Amino acid sequence: MSKGITPVIAIVLLLMITIALIGFAYVWFQHTATGLTSNIGRQVNRTTTQMGESITITSCDVSNKIVYVKNIGSSSIILSNTDLYVEGKLIPDSCGDGVAAPGKTFSCDLPDDIESGDSVKIVTGGGSVDEISCP
């Protein structure tokens, strides 16, 4: 009689193992798909912002130590994420805080040692770049 019960127990155990593996695979795929979806969403948002950011340096005033930059893109620019470089050297915290809406002009402070002919470059957080040689 024990010979008839052993195959039934083996089949039940195999079915339980199979169901457990299917459940594990389902949970793993759900977790992976959720992670990929959120990463793709963040990347799409970042790319959309980068595509909407565009700047142009309108003037460089060496005597007053100010450079004026216009947001010519379709997205607002976060000024604290905007970098100013003079002759390739980063000038930290020169564009201040706040947000520059599309079409608005903002200013960044130039260092005291700026000279006529120096190269000034502005880089936004989204990657938009403009460079000018100060007159």
Q: What is the structure's pLDDT at 45?
A: 78
For residues 58 and 101, membership in a common domain is answered with: yes
Q: What is the structure's pLDDT at 25?
A: 96
The tens digit of pLDDT for each residue in 38-77 reads 888 888 877 777 778 899 999 999 999 999 999 999 989 9
Judged by phi (left if over 0) then psi (alpha if -120 to 50, else beta), residue 96 lies in left
| Other residues' Cβ atoms within 10 Å of the Cβ of residue 20 | 10
- Containing domain of residue 60, as a range? 54-133
For residues 82 and 114, membership in a common domain is answered with: yes
Q: What is the structure's pLDDT at 38?
A: 86
Q: What is the structure's pLDDT at 3?
A: 67
Q: Which residues of the chain have pLDDT under 70?
A: 1-4
Amino acid at 38: S
For residues 64 and 78, membership in a common domain is answered with: yes
CATH number of the domain bearing residue 126: 2.60.40.1260
Q: What is the structure's pLDDT at 2?
A: 58
Q: What is the structure's pLDDT at 44?
A: 84
For residues 65 and 86, membership in a common domain is answered with: yes
